[in-house]
């Protein structure tokens, strides 16, 4: 601590890493609030600066630009999703139900954090990706590995427990990808319907995810098959055990998962 001639306590000349992290987080938080309130298209650096107690120059010390800030938000979102995925993967049920649970947790995340979900989608565009710092991009890749790791683990268990036999023409990576792209496609295309119960179409996101999962897994001959097990009840139980708090928040918002 440095005390100057008139006894005023000055801020330390070299900022410790912890307070730097805290400051960075406060900027990210401010940006998220702006996105929640007025959409990602209306996020401006001026608005962010107005919301935090630091100047423009300081904000630009943390982020190389607006896109870098978006990617930082995106990374935070992926970290939240990775937590949900791993909680689902560690559930004590059979592998097939765990995968169903994991995919449903993707929807839970999209409903609970619509602004974060949209930011991640948006950050996939070359626009954002191309203007971000290499560090932030590397961080994103690591976080995505963590996501895929959870999916990979469940497939491993399914194969080890002999409930699933790998098709001769596919490896585990391809299975992980098939599973991921199906959920991604469904939630992306129905993202406008995600938050409300009834949208402009008759499609209900959770129903489509549930059905498509069952179709794909039946196609893989992943035991137990839909005809041999009440996956609906098994999933309901798993959801209540693993994500009770999340379901409660959904309920308070009047959004009950109906698959």
177 binds, among DNA, a copy of itself, none (CB under 5 to 8 A by kind): a copy of itself
Helices H, strands E: what count in the chain?
Answer: 13, 2
Question: Cα(22)–Cα(244) distance, rounded to whole angstroms?
Answer: 30
Show the binding pattern over residues 108-137: x = contacts DNA (CB under 7 A), - = does not. Answer: -----------------------x------
Paired with 9 in beta bridges are 3
Q: For residues 200-219, which are near DNA according to CB under 7 A?
A: none
Closer Cβ to a copy of itself, 91 or 217, answer by number: 217
- Asked if residue 55 binds DNA (CB under 7 A), the reply is yes
- Asked if residue 247 binds a copy of itself (CB under 8 A), the reply is no
15 binds, among DNA, a copy of itself, none (CB under 5 to 8 A by kind): DNA
Question: Cα(4)–Cα(12) distance, rounded to whole angstroms?
Answer: 11
Question: Cα(101)–Cα(85) distance, rounded to whole angstroms?
Answer: 9
Residue from 24, 26, 36, 40 in contact with a copy of itself (CB under 8 A): 40
Radius of gyration of the chain (CA): 22
Q: Considering the complex, what minimum distance in angstroms separates the CB of residue 34 from DNA?
A: 10
173 binds, among DNA, a copy of itself, none (CB under 5 to 8 A by kind): a copy of itself
Residue 125, phi-psi category: left (phi > 0), alpha (psi -120 to 50), beta (remainder): beta
Burial classification of residue 125, based on how many CB atoms lie within 10 Å of its CB (0-12 exposed, 13-18 middle, 19 or more buried): exposed
| Dihedrals phi, psi of 10, to nearest 5 degrees | -90, 155
Q: Which range of residues in 63-71, 120-128, 146-154, 166-174 is near DNA by CB under 7 A?
A: 63-71
Paired with 10 in beta bridges are 2
First-to-last C-alpha distance (Å) of the chain: 59
Question: Cα(9)–Cα(204) distance, rounded to whole angstroms?
Answer: 59
186 binds, among a copy of itself, DNA, none (CB under 5 to 8 A by kind): a copy of itself
- Asked if residue 173 binds a copy of itself (CB under 8 A), the reply is yes
Q: For residues 1-40, which are near DNA according to CB under 7 A?
A: 11, 13-15
- Asked if residue 169 binds a copy of itself (CB under 8 A), the reply is yes
Query: Which residues touch 187 (CB under 8 Å, ≥6 apart)?
Result: 106, 107, 110, 117, 194, 205, 209
Q: Which range of residues in 21-29, 103-111, 151-159, 168-176 is near a copy of itself by CB under 8 A?
A: 168-176
Give the residues lining the site for a copy of itself (CB under 8 A): 39-41, 118, 121-122, 124-127, 130-131, 167, 169-170, 173-174, 177-178, 180-186, 188-189, 201-203, 207-208, 211-212, 214-220
């Amino acid at each position: 601590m440095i005390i100057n001639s008139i006894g005023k306590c000055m801020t330390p000349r070299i900022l410790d890493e912890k307070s730097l992290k805290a400051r960075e987080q406060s900027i990210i938080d401010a940006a998220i609030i702006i996105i929640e309130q007025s959409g990602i298209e209306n996020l401006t650096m001026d608005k962010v600066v107005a919301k935090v107690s630091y100047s423009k120059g300081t904000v630009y010390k943390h982020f190389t630009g607006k896109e870098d800030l978006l990617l930082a938000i995106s990374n935070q979102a992926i970290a939240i999703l990775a937590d949900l995925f791993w909680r689902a993967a560690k559930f004590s049920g059979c592998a097939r139900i765990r995968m169903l649970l994991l995919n449903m947790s993707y929807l839970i995340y999209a409903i609970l954090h619509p602004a974060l979900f949209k930011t991640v989608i948006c950050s996939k565009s070359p626009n954002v990706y191309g203007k971000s710092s290499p560090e932030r991009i590397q961080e994103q890749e690591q976080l995505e590995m963590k996501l895929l790791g959870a999916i990979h683990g469940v497939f491993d268990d399914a194969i080890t427990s002999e409930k699933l036999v790998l098709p001769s023409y596919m490896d585990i990576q391809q299975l992980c990808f098939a599973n991921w792209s199906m959920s991604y496609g469904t939630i992306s295309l129905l993202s406008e319907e995600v938050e409300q119960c009834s949208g402009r179409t008759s499609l209900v996101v959770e129903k489509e995810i549930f059905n498509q999962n069952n179709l794909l897994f039946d196609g893989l001959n992943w035991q137990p098959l839909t005809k041999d097990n009440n996956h609906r009840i098994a999933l309901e139980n798993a959801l209540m055990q693993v994500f009770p708090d999340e379901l409660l928040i959904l309920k308070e918002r009047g959004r009950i998962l109906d698959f």
